[in-house]
Amino acid sequence: MFAARQATSSVFGAVQRRAFSASAANATKVAVLGAAGGIGQPLSLLLKLNPRVSELALYDIKGAPGVAADISHINTKSVVKGYEASAEGIKECLSGAEIVLIPAGVPRKPGMTRDDLFNTNASIVRDLAKAAAESSPDANILIISNPVNSTVPITAEVFKKAGVYNPKRLFGVTTLDVVRASRFISQLKSTDPANENITVIGGHSGATIVPLLSQSGYTLEGAERDEYVKRVQFGGDEVVQAKGGAGSATLSMAMAGARFAESLLKAAQGQKGVIEPTFVDSPLYKDQGVTYFASNVELGPNGVEKIHPVGKLTEHEQSLLEVCLKDLKGNIEKGEKFAKDNL
Ligand SMILES: NC(=O)C1=CN([C@@H]2O[C@H](COP(=O)(O)OP(=O)(O)OC[C@H]3O[C@@H](n4cnc5c(N)ncnc54)[C@H](O)[C@@H]3O)[C@@H](O)[C@H]2O)C=CC1
Ligand SMILES: O=C([O-])CC(=O)C(=O)O
């Protein structure tokens, strides 16, 4: 127990320890779809270490019962169950879930963009979203599967068609961009990365990822600034290249997904002022036809509590935002068109 709790607290901080006693009163079922994958396994492990989770439901087209059996031996209180791939299996997995994390789908290989995953992952996400709309319509749905800029709109359209869409409960997980932006600035400034929290807005691919250093009081100039921005925007490619065909970021993504789920749970369990950047149905740039956008979002018991505006930008950040909005609009429309043609 001690080791498990220590591992959790080193990831999520002291707040986690304070929450331990409060957690008993909160029965929270969390489901992971794609739980046997590169992200799914470590994500499920981190969720098992989270005392706010009382039940962990794992689903995959293959291997979920094995992952569940393994994780279930960890000596934390939550109950873990793995489900076989079947209509009944996914229904039971989702039923009663408060949070549904979806990392199901194929990852990139070197030379591919996230958009190159669209043809495979769009229908995987559509089908899982259909199951969620049916069996857990009130859950918070956290989309990890790429391309997030398109898979989130697809999920929204599925929920709309089923008559259960709640924009406050659908999230594209962009936390890894914040994690990277924070880590990379700490390397340049020799600060403790755990104390950095760089706001990242826009979406989750290439030029749609816009880090806002100025809002954390940092100024980088010239080549150093451009290299930093490029590294944040293409951090995913760095991992894809390094893995040489064996997939994309899994471990850092698992940490980021677990952190976002933890933030939602904290907010659901009454903590105020929980803020995470995330890709949501957003009013900020709707007048420019960009219907989903990642910015700082205050979370609450009902999911999205308040979408913060992006705030003051430097001229350079403004120019990045303009490129972002153009790309993002295309990615969103692509997802919506797929839904229109395939639902
Ligand atoms: N949002 C983000 O920041 C990030 C997103 N990703 C994305 O996450 C996705 C998963 O990546 P990995 O875990 O590395 O891939 P992976 O291939 O290791 O695992 C994917 C899992 O999904 C399962 N799966 C496939 N179709 C399914 C279905 N219909 N129902 C249930 N499970 C299904 C597979 O059996 C596999 O176990 C990729 O699309 C990747 O691009 C990856 C890193 C960061
Ligand atoms: O780069 C990829 O394909 C996976 C991903 O989204 C990331 O690592 O940010």
**Averaged pLDDT, 78-92:** 97
The dihedral of CA 178, 181, 184, 186: what is its sign? negative
**Is 316 marked active-site?**
no
Of the ligands numbered here, which is closest to the C-alpha atom of 254? Answer: 1
What tens digit of pLDDT does each residue of 31-62 get?
A: 999 999 999 999 999 999 999 999 999 999 99
- In three-state secondary structure terms, 57 is strand
Q: How far apart are the C-alpha atoms of 7 and 10, rounded to whole Å?
A: 5
What tens digit of pLDDT does each residue of 136-146 get?
A: 999 999 999 99
- Ligand 2 pocket (Cβ < 6 Å) reads 107-108, 114, 146, 176, 236, 239-240, 248-249
> Given the CA of residue 40, which atom of ligand 1 is nearest to it?
13
From 12, 5, 93, select the one nearest 266 (Cα to Cα). 12
Q: How many CB atoms lie within 10 A of CB 288?
A: 13
**Per-residue confidence (pLDDT) for residue 13, from 0 to 100:** 46
Q: How far apart are the C-alpha atoms of 95 and 289, rounded to whole Å?
A: 35
What tens digit of pLDDT does each residue of 169-218 get?
A: 999 999 999 999 999 999 999 999 999 999 999 999 999 999 999 999 99
Distances (CA, A) of 32 to 103, 146, 260: 8, 16, 13
**Per-residue confidence (pLDDT) for residue 14, from 0 to 100:** 40
**Per-residue confidence (pLDDT) for residue 112, from 0 to 100:** 96
Only one residue has tokens 């997904």, namely 257
**Per-residue confidence (pLDDT) for residue 3, from 0 to 100:** 39
User: pTM of the prediction?
Assistant: 0.94
> Given the CA of residue 176, which atom of ligand 2 is nearest to it?
9
Atom 9 of ligand 2, nearest CA residue:
236
Asked whether the beta carbons of 261 and 48 are under 8 A apart, the reply is no
From 323, 333, 321, 319, select the one nearest 289 (Cα to Cα). 333
**Per-residue confidence (pLDDT) for residue 27, from 0 to 100:** 85
Examine the pLDDT at 24 and tell me if it is beyond 60: no
Task: Give 23 or 307, the one with higher predicted confidence.
Answer: 307
| Active-site residue, selected from the candidate residues 73, 204, 308, 316 | 204
Q: How far apart are the C-alpha atoms of 231 and 250, rounded to whole Å?
A: 18
Determine the residue of 151, 176, 205 to mutate for testing ligand 2's pocket, defined as the one with the most ligand atoms within 8 A of the Cβ atom.
176
The interface predicted TM-score of the complex, written ipTM, equals: 0.99
Q: Which domains does the chain have, with CATH numbers?
A: 8-173 (3.40.50.720), 175-248+274-342 (3.90.110.10)
What tens digit of pLDDT does each residue of 289-337 get?
A: 999 999 999 999 999 999 999 999 999 999 999 999 999 999 999 999 9
For 323, which DSSP code?
H
- Residue 25's pLDDT band (boundaries 50, 70, 90)? low
Q: How far apart are the C-alpha atoms of 177 and 156, rounded to whole Å?
A: 22
Task: Calculate how far, in angstroms, residue 199's C-alpha sits from the geometric centre of ligand 1.
Answer: 25
**Averaged pLDDT, 251-272:** 97
User: What's the angle, vertex CA 105, arms to CA 172 and CA 182, rounded to 5?
Assistant: 45
What's the whole-number average pLDDT of the chain? 93
